[in-house]
Structure 1
Amino acid sequence: MSASNEPVPFEVYEAGVYLHGTKAQLAAGEMVTPGRSSNFEEGRVMNHVYFTATLDAATWGAELAAGEGRGRGRIYVVEPTGDFENDPNVTDKKFPGNPTHSFRSREPLRVVGELVDWVAHSSEKVLAMRAGLEALQQRGAAQIED
């Protein structure tokens, strides 16, 4: 597929729809809960669940998530079951005003469906993102505010 089919940064997928990218295999009705291992800090248990309204951010979540192998991740349509807030790891540190529409909650997310026809970022972009994250970790600058 061409790069022009890749998800567009900051573009809301569909008004009122939230997405969660992961390697986990889930079914409609299952809950994504806090208390799971971090995808970005080995050995860290997360206090929040993270989700987005953009396909681009959900795609990054699916592509970068920890889990079995480095195969294709999954993107789920989710609904928050409680209060949520802007994700400070993105909003405050990288993109003021939350153009990524990234959020977090201490309450579970209910899986309501799965997107199966999403287009991945190019392998070059994924490798560059992984290299950038690795560089941050080596400098000790990749800590998550959770």
Structure 2
Amino acid sequence: MADTPERFTVHESGVWFHGTKADLKVGDHLVPGHRSNYRPEHTANYVYMTKVLDGAVLAAEMAQGDGPCRVYVVEPEGPVEDDPNVTDKKFPGNPTHSFRSDRPVRVVGEMTDWTPHSPEFLQRFREGLEVLRREGRDVVYD
């Protein structure tokens, strides 16, 4: 679609991405039941992924931790479903191409050719998240 923002454009490769600060290797598995990348007090029941490189970059930039931002190419080893945290609540129809799986997701590579968001964009994004937290609208459907 010509008017689709870049942040919603499926990467030309068609692969799945997972953004994080975790140091992973090819062959490692991401599995549900671990601490969330975004809320250390929350155990994630799903592994989240996207077909949009920019979305994975943002996920890595927002992830907890001190390591460098990493964007991995992943392959789900089971069924995937739309991520209701964005598709149902913010972007009906899943234009973000955000998904999740309750099964393991295998790391098959790392994407290193990506552009980080500007510090100003990230600050505005964090401020928006903080508003949601203060208003009690930062619900995670997990």
**TM-score, length basis structure 1:** 0.89
Q: Would you say the 8 A contact 1:14–1:53 is kept in 2? A: no
Post-superposition CA distance 1:1-56 (Å, at most 9, x none)? xxxxxx92111113530000000010000001111112333411010000000011
Structure 2 partner of 1:3: none
SS for the counterpart of 1:114 is strand
Distance in 2 (CA, whole Å) between partners of 1:125 and 1:75 is: 19
SS for the counterpart of 1:76 is strand
**TM-score, length basis structure 2:** 0.92
Structure 1 outlier segments of 4+, above 6 Å: none
Q: Would you say the 8 A contact 1:19–1:58 is kept in 2? A: yes
Distance in 2 (CA, whole Å) between partners of 1:41 and 1:74 is: 18
Structure 1 partner of 2:45: 47
Structure 2 partner of 1:85: 81
SS for the counterpart of 1:104 is strand
Distance in 2 (CA, whole Å) between partners of 1:19 and 1:55 is: 7
Percent identity among equivalent residues?
Answer: 54
Gaps of at least 5 residues in structure 2 are none
Distance in 2 (CA, whole Å) between partners of 1:143 and 1:113 is: 31
Post-superposition CA distance 1:90-113 (Å, at most 9, x none)? 100011110110000000110000
Distance in 2 (CA, whole Å) between partners of 1:99 and 1:116 is: 24
Residue type of the alignment partner of 1:141: R
- Give the number of aligned pairs: 138
RMSD: 1.4
